[in-house]
Amino acid sequence: MTALADIIRSHIRQTGPLTLAQYMEMCLLHPEHGYYNQPTPIGARGGFITAPEISQMFGEMVGLALAACWQDQGSPPAFALLDLGPGRGTLMSDCLRATGRVEGFRSAARLHLFEASRSLRNVQMARLGAFDPVWPRSLMELPAMPLFAIANEFIDVLPVRQFRRIGRGWAECMVGLKKGALTMGFVSCDASVGINDRFGHCVEGDIVEIRPAAEQITSTLAGHIARHGGLLLIIDYGEEKLTGPTFQAVTDHQSADPMAAPGNADLTSHVDFGGLIGAAAPLAHAGPCPQGAYLECLGITERARSLAAELRERELAEHTAAFRRLVHPEEMGNLFKVLALYPPDAPVPPGFVT
């Protein structure tokens, strides 16, 4: 039993069951015991590994795609470069290195890192301090300039609420106590949460998930991009049309019971790309397209070959395995999707076959 489990149990005793979203938020971001405030949540030695931690090629491709899009939109002389949930800063560090030779890009970039975890902000400072980053407290605080933003494996950790269709109504998944232990169960609720409009077609027993925070963030950034130009690139696992349930816990690279050890596991669920596209109006969208096809379209195969030419034996085997892991349909290639949101009068961002 973790210290956070005790805190959550006494919270439930005082104020009643929590929605899944409230439970996720406490487990992930509790200032002391939350998963993302632990010393090593991400990376080969952490609980799970993300694409930029697998190979430098991922950040290089994304960086060059952002820079090409910036050029396509007239190379604005000052823009906000935003990483949402930058983790250990690896993605942004690879992006900035790869774009070092794109004339004017780095000097025009004002680096913004949107991060809720204090311990990861420290890691990001150590990694990216040379680029003078700022950590905005709110996405409403971004400067009035074009915005080029990347969110890799960020949306999937934003809190979700889960509902089950019962008759013509809904029941919501709540976290409560049973004989003192944390348990999930469905409790009937009124449909005022606004799910009927989108999920009115569901039949008895169907489970759906909504992620209000993700839609709000997307809509705020979309409004900014509609006014000032730019791009929001979202990379995550999920589908354009989601069917639930997809809420899950991952600990030590394995799936786990989300109630077992709060604060020790990453809690996520698949991203509903259709919902994000809807929230991004009036922006145009490209994708969601599979990550493997996207990276190949950007030229990762050539980059992998040129890096391989310098490597031998174990390093070469590791590099080949990392390349496969990013693009192969049975690894991350199909499960992960890429969605670009951009102004309707701008060219389609690179990486999407049109």
Q: Select 202 or 249, whichever has its Cβ closest to ligand SAH.
A: 249
- CA pair distance 296, 329, nearest whole angstrom: 12
CA pair distance 319, 325, nearest whole angstrom: 10
The residue (of 73 and 291) whose beta carbon lies closer to ligand SAH is 291
Nearest to 98 by CA among 134, 145, 55: 55
Q: Which two tokens stand for residue 112?
A: 């913004």
Q: Report in angstroms how near the CB of residue 217 gets to ligand SAH at its nearest.
A: 8
At its nearest, how many Å lie between ligand SAH and the CB of residue 257? 21
Min separation Cβ 55 and ligand SAH, Å: 12
Smallest separation, CB 24 to ligand SAH (Å): 9
d(CA 216, CA 222): 10
Give the start-end residues of each E strand in the chain: 18-19, 79-84, 109-114, 147-152, 161-166, 169-178, 181-189, 207-210, 230-239, 248-251, 254-256, 266-268, 271-272, 284-290, 336-342
Least distance to ligand SAH, CB of residue 351, Å: 17
Compare residues 115 and 296 and give the one whose CB is closer to ligand SAH: 115
Task: Look up residue 161 and give its amino acid.
Answer: R
Q: In this structure, what token pair is assigned to residue 64? A: 């060059």
The single-letter DSSP state of residue 36 is G
Q: What is the closest distance, in whole angstroms, from the C-beta atom of residue 37 to ligand SAH in the complex? A: 8
153 vs 215, which CB is nearer to ligand SAH? 153
Tell me the angle at which helices 90-98 and 118-128 cross, rounded to the nearest 10 degrees: 20
Task: Kindly list the residues in this chain that would bind ligand SAH in the complex (CB under 6 A).
Answer: 28-29, 36, 42, 50, 52-53, 85-87, 91, 114-117, 120, 152-154, 157-158
Do residues 174 and 19 lie in contact, with contact meaning Cβ atoms separated by under 8 Å? yes
**Spatial distance between the Cα atoms of 6 and 26, rounded to a whole number of angstroms:** 12
Residue 196 C-beta: closest distance to ligand SAH, Å: 27
Number of H helices, E strands in the chain: 14, 15
Provide the minimum distance between the beta carbon of 180 and ligand SAH in the complex, in angstroms, as a whole number: 29
CB of 117 or CB of 269, closer to ligand SAH: 117
Q: How far is the CB of 212 from ligand SAH (least distance, A)?
A: 12
SS3 of the chain: helix, strand, coil, percent, to 5: 45, 25, 30
Nearer Cβ to ligand SAH, position 60 or 73?
60
Query: What's the N-to-C CA distance of the chain in angstroms?
Result: 52
Residues 6+ apart with CB under 8 A from 73: 146, 229, 230, 231, 343, 346, 347
Q: Which C-beta is closer to ligand SAH: that of 105 or that of 114?
A: 114
DSSP, res 261: S
Name the residue nearer to ligand SAH (CB basis): 85 or 229: 85
Residues, the chain, total?
354
CB of 36 to ligand SAH, least distance (A): 4
